[in-house]
Structure 1
Amino acid sequence: MEIFATGLNYKTAPVEIREKLAIPEEKYSEILEKISLLPSIYEVSILSTCNRVELYGLSDNIEESFEEILRLLSSYSGLKVEELKKYMFLYRDRDAIAHIFRVSSSLDSMVIGEPQIVCQFKDSFSKARESKAVKHVMTRLFDKAMNVSKKIRTSTGISRRAVSISYAAIELAKKIFGDLSDKNVLLLGAGEMAELAARHLASAGVRHIFVSNRTFEKAVQLADEFGGSAIRFNKLFEFLPEADIIIVSTGAKEPILKKEHFKKIEKIRQGKPVFIIDISVPRNVSDDVNEIENVYLYNIDDLKMVVDRNLEERKIAAESAKILIDEEVAKFDRWLKQLQVSPAIVKVRNFASEIKDYQLKKLFEQMPYLNEKERENIELAVNSIINKILHRPTMYLKDKATKENSEFYVDIFEEMFSPKWDFRKRMDVSLKKGRKSEK
């Protein structure tokens, strides 16, 4: 049995291919069931996001499983097998385990450290478990993957730094104000990034959000989403003194907010800081606004510098995470190899248990006067002797399972306890045959 990981992602396939393979919620169970019923696959889970469609599983013939998966996905997507094959990757054993750990830890994501993949990974496994498509081995692997993900996030801080323009704005706002719960936000314009920044601010618990847009209906619609207030564009400057954080994103060709606007409200603000994020291109806030004390203006290039710096820090954290993943892959691989020798160990222990039961039965028949407690003590002592005798060969086999040529040692172990070496039993059989022939 081997672990495998196969599929395609943003590194191996363009979006027009990925979208054909994407599995919607209503189709997920059907596709999962079809793949889990493939004869060479014992356990399987599917992860389908906008950036990847990947399958992780356990197989007794990975090449056969890969070909069967290709045919099934070809039928589902309408892509020819040969075309699909160009975009599909296939990892096995340690490479597969390492890939699964990287995905769960967001080291394989387009944006390193992004948190969404953790929830998507966990959700995909929950669905596979509910469908009984995963059992002991893959359950252990996914639990370990989530554990590795948590360990990487807490020990490397890989997801602490903002790597989106909108979230970088929030990070800067918190540096200026600290607590945002008593701050008012003015959203000027309804650009996508400005709207997203406002959403982040709303989730950070700001007091109130005002929205002003040239199209008033759009301002009303957006304000309703935030539980805020819409302001007519020509009334904008009346509300300027109320704003602690201003997000500007309009299509204007020249500055809307200028130095004189903030000079007018200086006394009203009584020295309270104003944080302005100008995401407009061209810029909608004049540079000289920054000359006013306690007014902090950042444009999209300033935010991009924050994002780039944070991305570099995440890349450094990712290098530390790779070392941790290598260690965890080695541990899981060792457990998996030791698991594969378990049948041989169980067979030997069952053999020892049969001998024990037979000998104790004979002993207790010869000593009928023993009470129940005495019999229990004798049985405990015999069990202890068997466990101590078998402990060393068991540990020896588990150790050899992690080395090369492990099958060689398993064969020797099983051969040692083969019935063919039980000469006394064979002699007893031959003696009985001889007595019958004499008669």
Structure 2
Amino acid sequence: MDFYCISTSHQIANLEVRERFSFSHQRIKKSLEYYKENNDQFLGPKSEIAILSTCNRFEIYVTFRGNQHEFLDDSTKVFQKILAFVSELTGFSIHEIDPLFVQYHNMAAVEHLFRVTSGLESQVLGEVQILGQVSDALSIALEIGSARHPLASLFQSAIHAAKRAHTETEIGKKPTSISSAMVQIAEKWMKESGKQMILVVGAGEMSKLALKTFNQRDIKNITIINRTYSKAIELAYQFNCQVAPFEELENLLQSADIVITATSVEHPIITHDSLHPILKLRKDSSILFLDIAMPRNIDSAIRSIPGVELIDLDDLKSRLDQTRQHRENEARQVGKILEEELRIYSHWVEVMPTIGKLHRKAEMIRRQEMEKMIQLNPDLDSQLQEKIDFLTRSLVKKILHEPSSKMRMETTHKEMNMYTNTLHYLFGLDEEENAYQIDLEQPKND
């Protein structure tokens, strides 16, 4: 089974470039739907695809259903097709985007996803938010139907490994996420300046995380605004804050001491030209802006205004490095866990074709026997047929579950080869395999 991944992230691309690859959930859904409708233009109907998009990374994962595909011996062609898809989505030419992406193939792609999901490749080492984002990427791909068993199994294994890593080590016990780092900066500003009035622009996940951290530290005097007023009210009620209409932004900037922006817009909502006259109306022009949005909500040109301090996502990176040493120590333990989980997954990939053949042959025999039974009992009512069908499916599944699990988990490489060869010999799994190439995920109604 072949896996492919292309990845761009904070390690390669600056903030301006990453903004072009920032996809909302809705945009990911539309992109996957576009791929499904036009897959002949890219990698064909047997390909599976998932998109992971976060503040700091954009990745596409691809595999193929079945053991053979037309690009089997040409990984370069596969990567070019994936880049062509990205080009369609973003408007960049392939020539422009090719240098921005790292390419991973087979176990390198698998290991990369495991490391990403566990937080080892995050800007904040070990942060746990990426685990939820990978889970979301899988859920969306399953919802759209662009991923099925092979790709879903890869993502599920990566998620399982990441959960183990966060449970068995302290890499996530003292998390330093973008939101918590931002709150620390706000606290320091308030302590040094004596200013307390906070304005939060946006009611999405990043705003919620920031408000949750403020709430845990008993920081009050916060006002929330959002284009969808009801969402601002919901957050204000949850965290005991004040709320105002989005249209009051300019008025609120006249009195706010700290402004946190985390709203989803394509263009900055605060610019040099819009802010400068507002600050002239303030008694004190000093103000802290924390822009944790992607794309950015605030024009970086405001830094030239006296008294204004602006911190964006790239600025946070250097500040977060101070707490990195402890997490680097824990990362070594995480690495050992991932090595173990990668061995298990690699083993599973090797035995999966044999297990699949065994299940398909068993299902073929079950269906043949069901057909014989129905032919011998033509008066059998449909409800009883359905019950017998359900019973036989359940029997096949339960009988094969234990040997399948042991094949996946309990054998060494030597034992695996022995068991695989034995199963092939005893059950004739290589004999007329095409006769039982049936779709187990969508069984026929007998």
Gaps of 5+ in 2: 201-206, 224-249, 261-281, 289-305, 308-315, 371-394, 433-446
Matched, 1:105 2:110: no
Whether 1:44 aligns to 2:46 is no
> What's the offset of the Cα at 1:216?
9.6
In the TM superposition, residue 347 of structure 1 has moved relative to its aligned partner by: 6.5
Shift of 1:140: 2.6
Choose which of 331, 334, 340 in structure 2 pairs with 1:327: 340
Q: CA deviation at 1:119?
A: 2.7
Out of 86, 89, 98, the residue aligned to residue 76 of structure 1 is 89
Label 1:353 to 1:90 Cα distance change in 2 as closer, same or farther (>3 A): same
Maintained 8 Å contact 2:87/2:97:
yes
Q: Which residue of 1 aligns with 2:18?
A: 18
> How far, CA to CA, are the matches of 1:315 and 1:397 in structure 2?
32
Q: CA deviation at 1:104?
A: 1.3
**Alignment match, 2:6:** 6
Secondary structure of the residue aligned to 1:21 is coil
Contact 1:210/1:223 (8 A) holds in 2 = no
The 5 A counterparts of 1:55-134 are 55-59=60-64, 60=69, 61=71, 63=75, 64-134=77-147
| Matched letter for residue 216 of structure 2 | A
Of 176, 191, 195 in structure 2, the residue corresponding to residue 187 of structure 1 is 195
Distance of aligned partners of 1:309 and 1:414 in 2 relative to their CA distance in 1, 3 Å threshold: same
CA shift at 1:392, angstroms?
9.8
Comparing 162-171 with 113-122, greater Cα deviation is found at 162-171
User: Is the CA contact (8 Å cut-off) linking 1:21 and 1:53 kept in structure 2?
Assistant: yes
8 Å contact from structure 2 (residues 347, 408) kept in 1: no
Q: Using a 3 Å threshold, how does the CA distance of structure 1 residues 23 and 412 change in structure 2: closer, same or farther? A: same
Q: 1:321-363 CA deviation, whole Å, 9 max, x = no partner?
A: 1111111111112112211123443466579889999xxxxxx
Aligned length: 315
**How far apart, in 1, do the equivalents of 2:429 and 2:214 lie?**
71
Instruction: Compute the displacement of 1:55 (Å).
Output: 1.2
User: SS at 2:48's partner residue?
Assistant: strand
Q: Deviations over 1:198-236 (max 9, x none)?
A: 95663216274499xxx99547556999xxxxxxx99x9
TM-superposed deviation, 1:85: 2.1
Instruction: Provide the residue aligned with 2:329 in structure 1.
Output: 316
Calculate the TM-score normalised by the size of structure 2: 0.53
Please give the alpha-carbon distance, in whole angstroms, between the structure 1 residues aligned to 2:29 and 2:175: 36
The Cα shift of 1:99 comes to: 1.1
What is the alpha-carbon distance in structure 2 between the residues aligned to residue 42 and residue 49 of structure 1?
Answer: 23
**1:52 & 1:136 partners in 2: Cα distance?**
25
- The answer to whether the 8 Å contact 1:170/1:200 transfers is no
Per-residue deviation, residues 175-198 of structure 1 (Å, max 9, x unmatched)? xxxxxxxxxx96358799xxx999
Which residue of structure 2 aligns with residue 35 of structure 1? 35
Q: Using the alignment, how far apart are the partners of 1:50 and 1:392 within structure 2?
A: 43
Write the deviation string for residues 253-305 of structure 1: whole angstroms up to 9, x where unpaired: xxxxxxxxxxxxxxxxxxxxxxxxxxxxx99xxxxxxxxxxxxxxxxxxx999
Contact 1:7 1:53 in 2 (8 A): yes
Q: Give the TM-score normalised by the residue count of structure 1.
A: 0.54
How far is the alpha carbon of 1:94 from its aligned partner?
2.2
What code does the residue aligned with 1:203 have?
N
Q: 1:203 aligns with which of 203, 206, 215?
A: 215
Provide the C-alpha distance between the structure 2 equivalents of 1:104 and 1:221, rounded to a whole number of angstroms. Answer: 37
Change beyond 3 A, Cα 1:187–1:82: same
Cα deviation 1:27-77 (Å, max 9, x = unaligned): 322211233433165322101123221112322446243222111222332
**Contact 1:161 / 1:310 at 8 angstroms: preserved in 2?**
no
